[in-house]
Chain A
Amino acid sequence: MRPDPIVRLVFATLDALAPESERDALVGDLHEEWLSIVVPERGEAAARRWLVKQAAQSIVPLLVLRIRRGETAALLAIAFASFASAAGAVAGAAIAWRWVLFQVPLRAAHAPPVYWIVGVVVFALAASSLTALLAAWFLGVRRRRPS
């Protein structure tokens, strides 16, 4: 049976984040515990939640581990891709919104700058997170693809 997309995304994310020397052992351990212990004990839905929680709580320690070892090339690539896409998305949204305001003179056009700043930051964070996840997934898929 092929695991669902969330499970695949979790393993691909950990695949991308874990340092090379730990990758096999870490992902293998998590896969083993999830499949042979957690799924039979708690059922598939709860096991999926457990897996997502494990991955989410592992992100910071794994990033720290990579930085401590100086393995930052992949992280820099992900950060750059995130920043570039977020900047592009924010610029595009700002231009589109300007055009809308130009067509229809809404009262929102006179909203205090703080709303604009908060909106742009939230949008940038959301776009960065999404891109980082997609980049991690993409790197993980490429790494696992048999040659």
Chain B
Amino acid sequence: MSDPTYLGEFEQLVLLAVLHCGDDAYGMAVRREIAQRGGRETAIGAVYATLDRLETKGLVTSEKLDARVSAAERAGRAKRRFKVTATGRKAIRRAHSTLARMMDGLEFGRA
């Protein structure tokens, strides 16, 4: 069985975006963070599907914010805020160090 903390590329992007967003990590902010920092336009549905998968793996948690704080531009819809768990932080560190080890000794820029 595969390790549940193994992260695919898009899962890494979403986890890092949630970390960058801090206390303001809800779907729209995460999507915009990926677009601005990662240069990758993604669909909001893909972001939520990935966040759901990460939550199932125990790498993020979420809380629903009170509907009363929802502004008019949200058409009265509640917000859902995400937070990376300790396991999620460990998983992203591990993914990063694996990539660094794999890149070690390779030279780029040559034909």
Give the chain A neighbours of B71 by CB distance below 8 A: 32
Taking each of A17, A37, A57, which has the highest tally of chain B beta carbons within 10 Å of its own beta carbon? Answer: A57
Q: How many residues of A contact B (CB 8 A)?
A: 28
Q: How many residues of B contact A (CB 8 A)?
A: 26
Docked complex Cα distance between A30 and B73 (Å): 10
**A87 proximal to B (CB < 8 A):** no
Interface residues of B (CB under 8 A from A): 26-28, 31-32, 42-46, 48-50, 52, 64, 67, 70-71, 73-80
Contact B44 A31 (CB under 8 A): no
Name the CB-closest residue of B to A17. B45
Min CB gap B48→A, angstroms? 5
Give the chain B neighbours of A17 by CB distance below 8 A: 45
Q: What would be 16 A-B contacts, judged by CB atoms less than 8 Å apart?
A: A11-B75, A25-B26, A25-B78, A27-B77, A28-B75, A28-B77, A29-B26, A29-B31, A29-B74, A29-B79, A32-B73, A35-B73, A57-B43, A58-B43, A58-B45, A61-B43
Give the chain B neighbours of A31 by CB distance below 8 A: 73-75, 77
**A6 proximal to B (CB < 8 A):** no
